[in-house]
Structures are given as C-alpha cells and as structure tokens.
Amino acid sequence: PGRSCLQGGEFLAQENTRVGLLFASKALVQLLVNPWVGLLTNRIGYHIPMFLGFTIMFLSTVMFAFSGTYTLLFIARALQGIGSAFSSVAGEGFGCSSAKTHQLPLAGPSLAVGAPFGSIMYEFVGKASPFLVLAFLALLDGALQLCILQPSRVCPESTKATPVSTLLRDPYILVAAGALCFSNMAVAMLEPTLPIWMLQTMCPPQWQLGMAFLPASISYLIGTNLFGILANRMGRWLCSMIGMAVVGISLLCVPLATTIYGLIGPNAGLGFAIGMVDSSMMPIMAYLVDLRHTPAYGTVYAIADVAFCLGFAIGTESWG
C-alpha cells in the first residue's frame, strides 16, 4: 500500500503544471475583472453586480459537477473567477456602505470549510455531490437577493468615486494591499502542494487530503471574528505585522510534519494569522478612502480583491 500511494503521489507531482494552472486560472481571471467591477458598482450600485455574480457562480458550480475533462474544469474555474469578482467586490462594498463602520471584518477569499467539506463528500458520496450542494445554496442566495435587495434597481453611489489611478498612488493603500497579497499567498501555495506532498510522504486516505485544511478553516473564522474588534484596540498595523510573522513561522513548520496530526498546529497557526491580517487590513481600506479620498467603496475593494487574487495567482502558479 505504501508503494502504490507513493506512485500515486509521483504521478500527481508530474501533473504539477496542470494543477497549478487550474488553481491559478480563477485568481488570474478575477484579477483582470475586478477593476471593471469596481467601476461598474460606482455607476449602477452593488445590487445588480452581486446578483450577476451569483448567476455566474451557479453556472460554474453546476459545470464543475458534470465536467469530465481538464478543459471543462478549466473553463468552470475561470467562470468561477468572473463570478467571484462580481460577488466579492460588490458584496464588500455593499457591506461597508450599509454598515457605515470599519470596526468589523469584511469577507475576503475564504479559508472556510470548502476543502474539508469537498473531500468528505467526494470520498463518501461522489464527485458531483459537493458541487450540487453548493449549487442549491447558490440558488437559495439568489432567491434571497431577489426578495430583499431587488437587484433590478439601479442605485449608483451618491458621491463620485476617486479614480483607481489616484488610489494606486496612495502609499497607505498600497501597503495595506501588499499585506493582503503576501499573507494570502501562503495558503495559495499550500492549496495545490499540500495534498500532493501528503500523498508522497504520508499515504493518507482521500478524505484526509481536504481535512488537513480544517484547522486553518476553524482558526481563520476565529481569527477574523476575534480581531475584527480587537485589532482596532491594539492597532491594526501591529495586528497585521504579528499576523504576517506568524504566517512565516507556520509555513516553516509545515514540512516538519510526518502525519496529518502534525499539520494541525501549523495549519491552525496559518489560518489564525491570515485572519488577523484580513480583519485588520480590509477595514483599513475603507477607512483610508473615507479619510483621504471620497467615500465610494467599489473601487478600493476592487484593489483589495486584486491584491488577494495576485497573491493566489502567484502562489498557485509558482507551484505550477
């Protein structure tokens, strides 16, 4: 059994370019679409782009469930990037403009329960099952948007947004975006590499490949909620700096693990630290716009999402 597992890991390692490209395609497409979504939300508001993002995400999820070739999976992944661009930029901007507070964390690319959920469903139910569940949840989300947000109504920003070129020349925004990029690059590198490395060194069952990310998922949720308020008291710059240091230490500890249990500590530390950075820097982006520019949030959150995507694109593509 150990030899067959090693051979499987060697086969997957030979496919690293295709795996890296598949993972990176979403981030690359999302990176290109984000700035246009930011401009669009400034013109027509957040509701229509959010609903359009839901529609595209639903189509890509269904396509994932029934795709049987690499080409179809690649197209589905790219579509997912377009849908994510609309959903994340519009959703973050809408949340910020509605709440009128920068004390709470805003949702970025999630480390939540996707990998553990997908691996368990794949192992015990079937390939299509996790995607069909997500498609149902997407339909439910779309129904709620239709009932509550009424996305057919155009609601442009009341103030004229600061041009992207001006925001990109702001050193404070660039530093905040850089922190988001580099911290999330860590988990981007682990997404394609960790399962293959586990197959080569640990010979785990299939369901454990996704469960290895569960400690990061749980600690990320704890970190974002805990430091959403705490970071404002201790200083968001300090919280982000500590988080980035813990990210580096956690990454150094990952190769030391010899079993899946040895990955619990490093992955938990990684998720918690990224949660510290995300919950500190995302509100700062809106605060900087309020303080130094005009309070229209679509454009600045497009920059934040570009930073996320750049980190994921570099992280996953460097593996390819």
At 108 the pLDDT is 44
Inform me whether the pLDDT recorded for 92 exceeds 80.
Answer: no
Q: What average pLDDT score do residues 119-143 get?
A: 81
Q: What average pLDDT score do residues 60-75 get?
A: 88
Determine the straight-line distance between the first and last CA of the chain, rounded to whole angstroms: 28
% of the chain residues with pLDDT over 70: 83
Place of tokens 């997908």: 118
d(CA 132, CA 112) in angstroms, rounded, equals 18
DSSP 159: S
Residues 320 and 17 sit within 8 Å (Cβ to Cβ): yes
% of the chain residues with pLDDT over 90: 14
Please name each of the domains of the chain with its CATH number. Answer: 9-318 (1.20.1250.20)
Average pLDDT, the chain: 80
Please tell me which residue, 104 or 81, carries the higher pLDDT value: 81
Instruction: Determine whether 261 is exposed, middle or buried from the number of CB atoms within 10 Å of its CB (0-12, 13-18, 19+).
Output: exposed
d(CA 108, CA 22) in angstroms, rounded, equals 21
Amino acid at 152: S
pLDDT band (50, 70, 90) for residue 2: very low
d(CA 234, CA 231) in angstroms, rounded, equals 5
HSE, CB side, 13 Å, CA atoms: give it for residue 153: 8
pLDDT band (50, 70, 90) for residue 5: low
Range in 31-35, 276-280, 295-299 with the lowest mean pLDDT = 295-299
CA 82 to chain centre: 13
The predicted-structure confidence for 294-312, as pLDDT tens digits, reads as follows 777 778 888 888 888 888 7
d(CA 212, CA 177) in angstroms, rounded, equals 28
Largest CA distance in the chain: 64
Task: Give the Å distances, CA to CA, from 141 to 96, 137, 221.
Answer: 19, 6, 21
pTM: 0.72
HSE, CB side, 13 Å, CA atoms: give it for residue 281: 32
The predicted-structure confidence for 144-171, as pLDDT tens digits, reads as follows 887 877 766 666 665 677 788 888 889 9
